[in-house]
Every structure is written in C-alpha cells, then in structure tokens.
Amino acid sequence: MGRKVLTDKIHIPGIETIEVYKNNGGYETLKKALKQMTPSEITEEVKKSGLRGRGGAGFPTGMKWSFLENTSVGPRYLVCNADESEPGTFKDRFLIEKIPHLLIEGLIISSFALGAESTFVYVRGEFKTQIGILSKAIREAYASGFLGKNILGTGFSLDIYVHSGAGAYICGEETALLESLEGKRGNPRLKPPFPAVKGLYDRPTVVNNVETLAAVVPIIALGGEEYAKIGVGKSTGTKLISACGNINNPGVYEIELGLSVDTFLNSNEYCGGLKNGKNLKAIVPGGSSVPILPGNLILKTANGDDRLMSYESLSDGGFVSGSMLGSGGFIVYDEDACIVRNTWNFSRFYHHESCGQCSPCREGTGWMEKVLHRIEYGHGTSKDVDLLVSIAKRIEGNTICPLGDAAAWPVASAIRHFRHEFEFHIENPEIVKNIKHHSPEKYKVAVS
C-alpha cells in the first residue's frame, strides 16, 4: 500500500468537523508555520518538496510563488481554484467534502507565506453540497481563532471568502477565474502580464488549485526534503487520481507518483481491473483534455518500459505515443467502447464551454462537433477524418488560453490511434445507423 499524506485520515468519522480534525493533529502544522517559520522559509520548503501544480499544468509550485511581485505597496491575494470542471476529474470536490479543514489549513499557511491577508476560494457553482461543507468549516475556523485578526497571537490576519461560480468551465483557467471574481465575463486574459504581477484587482496574485494547497500542510509537517523522497524523479509526493469508466472500483485514490499504470489499473487496492473480465482498449489518463492512448501504449512507454503514473513517464514519446498526467482524471475504455462516440461527447463539451473570444476555438470546436456527429450517426464522408485532423491543427496553439488545445488534442489523438474506427463508421453507414449505441457484440465483430 502506497503512502498517503492527504487522505490518511479521511475515513475517521467526523473528520470534516474542526473538533475531530484538531483531535487528530489538525492545525498543529499551522502553529508550526506561523510561530516557528518565516514566510520565506515556508516558500523554500515548498520549493524543496518539488511540489508541482495538481490542477493539470504541473508547474513547480514554489517557483510560481517566488514570481509574486513584492516591490509595490498594497494588498496581494491568494486564490484557490476549486472550479473543478474537467470531465472525468472529481478529486478536488472529494477533498472539500471529506476533509475541508485540510484545505483551510493549507490556505492559511500559504497565505502567510505569500503575505496575503485576503484569500478567495472560487468553487464551481454546481457543488452546492461542497460549498455548504466548506463554508461551515470556515466558520468553525473563525470561531477557533484560526482565521480573522491576529491569528494565534502572531500578528498575522487573514479572511477567506467563498465565491460560487456560475457553471462555466472556462473559469477554471486562472485569468478567466480572476475576471469572474471581479464581476466580469469569464474571458481569459492575454499574458503577460501574469497574475503574479497583475492579478486580482490588478494586484499580485497566486492561483493554485485545491489539491496543491492542501499538499502544503504535509510538506510543512514533514519538511520539503522528506516530502520529496515520496514519488519518483521530478514527480515528487502523492497525487489524487479520479478513476472512472469500465472498471470495477471507480473512485478517488491517493497514489505515490511513480506507481505503474498496470498496477493502478489492475490492483484491487485501486481500480480493480476491467468490469466483466473485458479487455482494455484505451485510457485517457489525465482528464478529457489530454490525448487518449490505446492499451499497449498506456501500459508501456515508447522504449518498452512500464508506464508510470508520473508527469515524465506519461508524456514519454510526446503526443505521438504519450499523453499527460493532467488533472488526474483516469478514464478507462474496455474493448466494446466506441471511440468515435466518446470523442464526439468530448467535442460537444468543449464546443459548449468555449467562451468564444478566439475564433479558432469558437468556430473550430463547433466544426469538430458537427463532423464527429455525422460520422457517429452514419453520415460521414471519406474526407471527414482528414478534415478533423486539419481543424484540430488549426485550433492548437492559436488561442489565448489552453481550451483550444484541450479540444483539439482528444480528437487528434483518437484519430491517430483509432483511425480504423472512424473509417469503419464512414464506410459502413447502414451498420452504424442500425446499431443502437453500437451493440458491443455487433460492433466488436464489425471492426475486428
């Protein structure tokens, strides 16, 4: 069993309440940070830990903190991105629901390190249950003297505000989130300037996601160097993985980075293998925005080594034979899954969620959805597959924010690895039209 530092106490009854959390060591790390360490020492420990952003990009957290502009006079802000909207990803809401005080403790320590006296948690609007749990936990923290004025008699003051979003996926992009917090339409900003220089209300701002900020607590408790011993190479620490699809044990799992994909997929401790003894067709390892990989490439790297659940191993071979760890949304497809249908579903999502600011994304996501729809329903033409590849290429790298890339990569990778399924749909329209949701038996014979 791998080491757990975020979810080790999550099954203790009542851990979502401050009394149970405190009785199990909660807020002791906060006392250490505020009373025994300076802000720069905390940042240095985060750097030593090798912690990388757990929201998808994987950028070194300590380095991001060090970019914060500190020469001007005035407020600075920490913003927690809890707008978890990536299809297949549900680990941040799990943390908020199960152990909200871990996030709050991480927010306070991080705010102290960054010199922020106001912190905002931007939560996806649909998470009504989680918003209620988090808001209650924040009230408990105020009542216990962990928030407000002169925390623990240290002279440090902090207020945390919970802001409910309105259900826009684009607001998961940090600058669109800041626009939304300011009461504007959630459109991504051009960068530079970056939020560390000109963020919320034009002030220096750091934006990190829930899991990243929660991880600050065990980093300070253990020490950065000790935390860095967990994991493999530059992928240090643990990672929460949201596992779903055609598996026996869907759920949220905390793994040590460096665990093999094969072990994560087939071990009873984790996914428990595929349902009904089916064979593996493909996996999307990091949420809907990352390239899909067929079974042989997701289990082995381009060099034939075991593929690991790490930033480096999953990206081995680039987008030709690799993918990304991303947000940790681990979506499993068995042998009967229709890649065309699933790719179309992803494209529907990205077309719907595009903010429309950039024409390649605004128009291109709609074109991809329409072409995939006609292929899926037996109306495709011989030119459609190459047309999809062409559209994806013209979207990728040509938008202000990464949503365009996120829409293009799944389509391009699905065609790269499963072109035969797209061609079957086009060449056999009557069979496709007559198979309701692609009956597994008929579909399996048809594409074999």
Tens of pLDDT along 32-70?
999 999 999 999 999 999 999 998 888 999 999 999 988
Strand partners, 294: 282
Q: How much is the pLDDT for 435? A: 66
Contact 244, 328 (CB under 8 A): no
Domain 18-229 fold is: Rossmann fold (3.40.50)
Cβ-in-10-Å burial (0-12, 13-18, 19+) of 419 comes to middle
Q: Which residue has the higher pLDDT, 243 or 377?
A: 243
* pLDDT above 90 for 398: yes
Mean pLDDT of the chain: 94
- pLDDT confidence band for 445 (50 / 70 / 90): very low
Q: How much is the pLDDT for 442? A: 43
- pLDDT confidence band for 437 (50 / 70 / 90): low
Contact 244, 129 (CB under 8 A): no
Q: How much is the pLDDT for 441? A: 46
Going by C-alpha positions, the residue among 232, 318, 195 that lies closest to residue 52 is: 232
Contact 140, 103 (CB under 8 A): no
Backbone angles phi, psi at 300, to 5 degrees: -130, 145
Per DSSP, 148 falls in state B
* C-alpha atoms less than 13 angstroms from C-alpha of 270 in its C-beta half-sphere: 24
- Whether the predicted model's global pTM rises above the 0.85 cut: yes
Domain boundary assignment for the chain = 18-229, 241-334, 339-447
Q: Mean pLDDT across the stretch 418-436?
A: 86
Q: How much is the pLDDT for 1? A: 61
What does the alpha-carbon distance between residue 319 and residue 233 come to, in Å, rounded to a whole number?
21
What does the alpha-carbon distance between residue 356 and residue 366 come to, in Å, rounded to a whole number?
11
Q: How much is the pLDDT for 318? A: 84
Q: How far apart are the first and last CA of the chain?
A: 39
The C-alpha angle 14, 88, 313, rounded to 5 degrees, equals 105
Phi-psi region of 262 (alpha: psi -120 to 50; beta: other; left: phi over 0): alpha
Contact 291, 316 (CB under 8 A): no
CA 197 to each of CA 27, 122, 194, 228: distance values in angstroms, whole numbers, following the listed order: 31, 20, 6, 29
Tokens, residue 120: 């905002």
92-126: pLDDT as tens digits: 999 999 999 999 999 999 999 999 999 999 999 99
What's domain 339-447's architecture? Up-down Bundle (1.20)
What is the maximum alpha-carbon separation in the chain? 75
Beta-carbon contacts of residue 267 (< 8 Å; ≥ 6 apart): none
Domain 241-334 fold is: Ubiquitin-like (UB roll) (3.10.20)
Q: How much is the pLDDT for 414? A: 97
Q: How much is the pLDDT for 371? A: 97
Q: Mean pLDDT across the stretch 231-240?
A: 96
Q: Mean pLDDT across the stretch 23-37?
A: 97
DSSP conformation letters of 360-406: HHHHHHHHHHHHHHHHHTT---TTHHHHHHHHHHHHTT-SSSTHHHH
90-99: pLDDT as tens digits: 999 999 999 9
